Structure 1
Amino acid sequence: MFRKQDKRLSSMLNKRVEVWHTVKSTVKDRLGQYPQEDKLYRTAYAGVIPQTGSLLSGRTADTTLSRTTHKIVMRYCKDITPDMWFMYDGVRYNILYIMDPYLDHERLEIFCEVLL
């Protein structure tokens, strides 16, 4: 069923993104513990769409941070979770929430935040 507001999904997926997650290491460190480490989970084609942006000022030492939100659109995948993040062009996109529009398991719209 084609919805009027939908674009062809394949034309939106024009960026190759990496999906990362944190896992417990299989090797003990010098303290005898299994540390957490970041690991590449998979790569996928996605659309990276800017949504909003704001400046966070009044920080220590007169620094200003930029808070920008993006929507990442990708084919439906049930194993993407909110504790993961995306890397694209050297920028980390932290997942805020994941939405399956129309609940038809065709695509995911993943709303992310970038702190610069």
Structure 2
Amino acid sequence: MVTGASTEARLAVRRFVSTCIEVLNGYRPAAHLRRLSQPREAATVVAQGVAGARRVTEARQTRATGRSSRQRPAAVVRLQLCEPREGAVEAAAVVVVGDKTHAMVIRLERQNESWLATTFRLI
């Protein structure tokens, strides 16, 4: 097993995670994850984006109890990567939404010259 990840894999993960955070915060539609996903997994990845965005919205609504009306966007506070084999990278991120913490897990695989998602979950 390779520890860490190649520079190319790291850049792909950061791009995907950045797009996911924009989806979770409502800045992008979840459908934008489709072009970053393996075709056979795209529907599942997009569905997880929709579910994650819904969870973030619900967390914000629950939190609106008269405190500050300003809502902090979801943000990644830690990201760990590993490349279990050449052409595959897995990542786990700690995502903070208001005062709640979630885990985000992803797997990307290289297909030709592109890194595409096969798994995305917000837990």
Q: What TM-score, normalized by structure 2, do the two folds share?
A: 0.28
Q: What TM-score, normalized by structure 1, do the two folds share?
A: 0.30
Instruction: Name the structure where helix makes up a greater proportion of residues.
Output: 2
Instruction: Name the structure where strand makes up a greater proportion of residues.
Output: 1
Larger RCO (CA within 8 A; separation ≥ 6): 2
> Which structure: larger Rg?
1
